[in-house]
A and B are shown apart, each in its own frame.
Chain A
Amino acid sequence: MKKKYEALVFAGILSTQILAGCASDQQESSSSDGTVAVPVSSGGDGKAPCCDLSDTKDGEFTAESKSDNFMGHGRIAVTIKDHKIVGVNFVGIDPDGNIKGADYGKTNGQVENPGFYQKAQRAVKANSQYADQLLQVQELEKVDVISGATVSYDQFVEAAKTAIENAKK
C-alpha cells in the first residue's frame, strides 16, 4: 500500500516536472526543430576569464585538481617570473596514485588491448601538450581542448587556476 502511494506521488511529481520542463523548454528553445539549448557544465568551465598574472609573485606554484576515485586527478607546477609563465609541468594521476606515463593503458603491465593503449597514451601526451600550450599562449582561456582528452583538460584547467591563484597569495 505504501509503495502504491509512493508510486502515485512520484507519478504526480514526474508529471509536474515534465510539464514544468516543457514550459521551460518553450522559454529556452528558439530552434525550429524543437531542440533545447541546455547549459554545458563541463569541458568548458575553464573558458571563463581568469588568471590575470599582473599581481603574481615569482616562483614555482603547485596545485592539484580535486581527486576522483574513478578518474584520478591532475597535478601541475607553474613557474612564474616577472608576471610571465616560464615553466609548466602537468601530469595526470590515476585513481591508484600512479603518474600516468608509459604504463597508462596497460593491464597488469601488458598491452592487452592495443586500441585502448593507444588512446590512453594519446591522453598522456595531451597532458604535456596542455602544459606546452599554456607556456606558449600565457592565458589559460586560450588553451585548446584536445579531442579524446577532455577529462584531462578539466583537470588541467582546475589545477592551473589554483596554481595561479596561489601565486597571488
Chain B
Amino acid sequence: MSLLELKDVSMAYGGKVFALQDINMTVEKGEWLAIMGPSGSGKTTLMNIIGCMDKATSGTVILDGIDLTDVTHQQLTTMRRDKIGMVFQQFHLIPYLTAVENIMVAQYYHSLPDKKEALAALDRVGLEDRANHLPSQLSGGEQQRVCIARALINYPVLILADEPTGNLDEANERLVMKIFHELHDEGHTILTVTHAPEVGREAQREIIIEHGRIANSEV
C-alpha cells in the first residue's frame, strides 16, 4: 500500500475556479518526490491538501492508510500533527523562543516536550551549539536547519518541504539538500515542492503541475 494516494483530486474555488483538476498520484514509503511547476500552477494548493491543511473539493486522499475525504477539520489537524513534518521557505520560527524551544513547542503540541531529544534533533542538523540562540541570531541557513529539526522531532511519516531552499544562498542550499539526502537514505519519505529545477532534480521522481493538472511525470 502506498503511503500517499490521490485519486481524481480537484480543488475548485466557488465551484468554478479550478486550482487543481483530476490529480492522480501516489507516493511510496521511503520515496523522495518533487512537485514542480511555475507560480500559480497549483503546487501550493496540492501541498496544502497533502499536508492536511486544506480539503479537496472532490476526489480521494489516502494518507498512511487513512482516507481524508470525510474527516473533520479537527481530525485533519490531528493527522497533520501526527503524520506530517513541515519545512517552509519562510521558516516560521517563533521569534522570541530559542532554537531548542522552537523544537520543544512542536513536541508540546504533539505529546510532551523533551529537551534532551530536542537538542539531539539540533545536533542532527549540526546546530547543537546554537540551541540557545534566537532565530534573529541565526543565519537563514541555520534557521532552515532548525525548521528541519522541528519537522523531524515527532517522527512524521511524511516530510513536506515547500521551497526549502528558496531563501538560502548557495552554501546553505547545498547543506540543506545534503541533509535531505541523508534523511532519504535513512528511509524518510520526502515531498519537496519547488520551482527550482536543480532542487527538483535531487528527488527520485518529479511531478510537474501546470494549470492545475499533472503535465508530466517521470520515474
User: A residues bordering B, Cβ < 8 Å?
Assistant: 3-4, 6-7, 10-11, 14, 17-18, 20-21, 24-25, 36, 38-43, 69-72, 105, 113-116, 119-120, 122-123, 147-152, 154
Contact = CB atoms under 8 A, between A and B. Distances in A.
Contacts, number: 91
Contacts of B201: 113, 115
Interface stretch (B93-101, B151-159, B204-212): B93-101
Given A14-B108, A119-B198, 7 more contacts: A38-B135, A69-B126, A71-B141, A120-B174, A123-B171, A151-B170, A151-B172
A36 B96 CA distance: 11
A39 B169 contact: no
Nearest to A10: B113
Contacts of A42: 138-140
A40 B139 CA distance: 9
Contact of A70 (B97, B126, B136): B126
A69 B108 CA distance: 31
A150 to B, nearest CB: 5
**Chain A facing B: main interface SS:** helix
Contacts of B95: 21, 36, 38
A36 B134 CA distance: 14
A38 B112 CA distance: 30
26 contacts: A4-B112, A6-B114, A7-B108, A10-B108, A17-B96, A17-B97, A20-B96, A21-B96, A36-B95, A38-B95, A42-B138, A42-B139, A69-B126, A70-B175, A114-B198, A115-B198, A115-B201, A116-B173, A119-B173, A120-B170, A120-B174, A147-B169, A148-B170, A151-B139, A151-B141, A151-B169
A77 B138 CA distance: 28
Interface string B181-201: 000000000000000111101
Contacts of B23: none
Nearest to A72: B171
Contacts of B172: 71, 151
B202 interface: yes
Contact of A151 (B112, B114, B171, B202): B171
B47 interface: no
A40 B136 contact: yes
B91 to A, nearest CB: 12
Q: Interface centre among B126, B170, B196, by most A CB within 10 Å?
A: B170
B112 A6 contact: yes
